[in-house]
Structure formats: C-alpha cells, structure tokens
Structure 1
Amino acid sequence: MSFTVIIPARLASTRLPNKPLADLGGKPMIVRVAERAAQSGAKRILVATDHRDIYAACEQHGVEVVMTRADHPSGTDRIAEVAATLDLPDDAVVVNVQGDEPLIDPGLIAATAAHIRVDVPMATAAHAIADLPEVFNPNVVKVVLNKDGRAMYFSRAAIPWHRDGFAQSKEALSELHGHEFMPLRHIGLYAYSNHFLQIYPTLTPSPLERIEALEQLRVLWHGHAIAVHVTSVLPEAGVDTQEDLERVRRHFEAPPDSPLVTAISAL
C-alpha cells in the first residue's frame, strides 16, 4: 500500500497557544509528528500550514511543507488543497495525521491507509473502551460498526446503549467485551482516496454534524462509506492541554537508553 501523509497545522489554539511549535526534546512538535509519520512507510510526508512560523520550523528541520489558504473550515479542507497540487491519481491514498499527535503509532497510520478501496473512499480507526466513565464522557467520541467493519454512526453519546446492563451494574462494560457491539472509542486519524478527498470540500454540512460537532458525520450523511480499523493497542493521547504537553515532553526527555525510548524507537 502506497500512501501520502499530510499533516495540517495551524498556530491558533485556544487552550494551548503556539502548540505546533512547542519544544519536545529540542524539536518543535510538528517536526516530531512528521518524524513519527515517516516511520509508517509513507511514500511522502508533508505539513500543510497557513502560518509562516510553522513553515520556517519545518524547513529548518528538513520537513516538506506547503503554505495553504488561511480560511479553511477544517483540517480536511486544508489537506485537500495540498493534495490537489500534488498531481496524484484518483486512487492514491492520502492520510490526515493530526499535528498534535507526536506519539502516534506509525503502524496505525499504515493499517488505516490499507482500508481504502474503490467502494470505501475513507477510513479511520478505533479501539475498545476499557473504562466505563469514558462511555458516558461527551469528549470521548464513540463509533458503532456494521458487520463489514464500516461506521454506522459516530456520537458523543454512549453508543451502543446497553439497556439493561448500564442501568444495573458497573460491570456492564466487562460483560460487553468480546461482543460485536462493544463500545469503541474513535481515534482522530483519517485516510482518503484522493478522488474522494477532492469531493469532500463540496459536500454540504449535515444537521447531524452540527448537532454532534463531528465532521465525519457529513460523510455518512451523504452516503459514503467509512471503514474503521479497530486496534487492540491503546493509542497515546495527543496534546490538547498544558498537562498533555508536559506528559509528552517526558517521553522525549527520557535518557537515550531508557526502556521508554527503546520501545518508541522500535515502532
């Protein structure tokens, strides 16, 4: 499977200003993300940004970077602009890796890309939820799948609703493990066929997308399939807050011969 990774990056962040340029062991976060993506086997890795400081940081560290318009409503629209300039064939696979995921599993990127087919123009990832409170946390996006492993719906609500179990017992989640409709947490990693990526910006936003504040519902609303790669490995969380940043910094500041760094290098 040949694929291209495009990493959208904006400097604006309400919770963590200048996040893409935050220092992680001597390199900006956006550079660390690109380095992880490079371990996935991607044919090409690019950063798509609307800010000159991010552009300069990428150039300084040898990361290919492209300037985009500043008025894109989403990261998907931003990478679509870049993909349109690359002269890719319609069946080329493009992966959207978020710019605040410096510890993303490179294998997960490749596995998600591998789900793209002629009849499945978009793919994403998920993993089983282990803690019951996460099922009811609206900041944790859930997804339910059909028998072919394609998304039926994404929601901030608890789906599927274990009618009897959730009402009676805190052990309800463990009872669902191994069941075909067990709760799955959506991972914000996306792959597209280039043909569909160019169509995406023309799709009108859906009512469900506005209600749930979930962009991927636009795709389902318009009748397109989304394949979901279910991983058994709990992914490292991205960086949204100062606490997240300090957690990730500890990874990059660990001694070179520590078990943590050895494990990361082996990915």
Structure 2
Amino acid sequence: MSVAMTWWPVSPPLAQLVDWIYVFRASGPNNQAIAGALLPQVQWRLAGDYAWRCRDGVDQPIPNVAALGPSAAAISLLTSGETVVVGTGLFPEGWATLLPMAAGDVVEKVFDLAAVWGTSSLDPLECDPASDDRILAAAVEEVLLKVLNRAADPDPRIALIGAWANGEVHDIDALAATLGVSMRQAQRMTTAACGLPPRLLANKHRMLRVAAELAAGIDNRREVWTSGYADQPHFNRDFKRFVGVNPTRFLQEPNLLVRDVMRVRQAIASRHPLGLSPEIEKAQ
C-alpha cells in the first residue's frame, strides 16, 4: 500500500474546534492500514473505495461526505484503487458546535454528513482529486466555516473535560466538582460530549500521547505504566487497544500508518488539550 498524507492548519475561528485538515492519498488494490483510536471525523471521499473497520470486524463503507463517530479502540482503514480523502478530526467542542447530536450516540458509527449539513456540504466533491492538496483543504475549511457561522457556542464545561482528560490525575469526583455536577451527571456529560465515559476517555488520550511521544523518539513507557497501571501487561493491553499494535510492533514495523499519524499529530501541535501537542501542560 502506498500512502501519502499532508496536513493543513485551520483558521483561528476553528482552531479550538477541529484538528488540522488532512489530505489522505492511497493507491493499490485491497489495502488495510491501522490508524489508531481517532478523534471523531468529518471526511470527503473524492476518489476510490474506502471503508472503516472497528473492533467488531464489520466493514463500514464511507459515503462521499461522511461523519465518523468517536472511536473506543483503534480502527483500520480499508482502501481499494486510487483513493483520495480529505477530512479533519473534531475536538469535543467541535462536535458539540458543528453536529446536532450527542457523540455518545454514534460511537464507531458512520453516517451521511450531507443529511445533516445539507447540500452545501457537497461542494468539496466538485474539486478534482488531482488538485493541489492546499486547494482541497481550503474547500473543506470553507464548508466548516459555513457550518460554524450558523452554530451556537458549545457548553463551556466541555473544555474542562478535555483539560481533565489531559491531566495526570483522573479523579472522577474532582471532575464532577469542576463541572459543578454530581458524579453520575459528570459521567453522562463526558459520554455525551466525547463519546466515552471519563475513565475510558482518559486512558485513550494517555495511550495516544504515549504513542505520539514514542513516534517522536521519546520513550516514557515505564514512567506511564508504573504511575498509572498495576503492571506492564495492563499498560500493553491498553496501548494495543487504542493504538492498534503492541509497543514493540509500533516502534519496529516499517510503513506503519498509525505511527506516522501519531508523529505528525505531535509535530503539528494543535493547541487543544486533546491535540497531543508537547507544549500543552498537563493539569496536576
């Protein structure tokens, strides 16, 4: 499988709502690549056949304009032929702002985005897939800005959930106190906003951050598993769940898409707490 990806920053109004826009190009028949546990996505398929495979092993074909709900484990991409996909990941505030549904209701589900955003969301499909990646990314950003212009502001408490998930201590009682709700309400609010309950969200983010640091040449696995896990096998189990491979394979296997994705996500340094930027300080 031959894969090429480019990444493009979004304008300031979108910066705390979505990650950078990417252009994904793949060639070759019947290919599969591990992508890890992604942020929820909005995507435009300009060419090729493309599907999403979750833990249950069921292939979900991707419509021309699609939204993909939050993932509770690593997912795989399946492509056939010359495939071109443009899209971006949504931070919890972005999902709450741009999509009128609870993230927890669509975990690992794919749905037609045009049915939600209307026909204007189809505009990027008019682009020639062979166009410069900058042009393709700009067409997607234009759609995102149109949707944003008619959207309401997200609940400010959603940002507190992201900061908590990026912290060192994942005390759910503390999260509830920060949100000003009961623990049960904090569980429901986190699931609705992020697709996952608090503990699972924190574990997912922790493993993705470890993977991003490993991809950048920073090995802090021992520090993480000794501080947050009963033993190394438990750490390895969570790493494989959210990254898709065990740490050894992640470091050693050539041409691994998830490693490239993690390396780039740290390099582009999205300023959101869930953006995997090395510059974002963790809350104590």
Regarding TM over 0.5, the answer is no
More helix per residue: 2
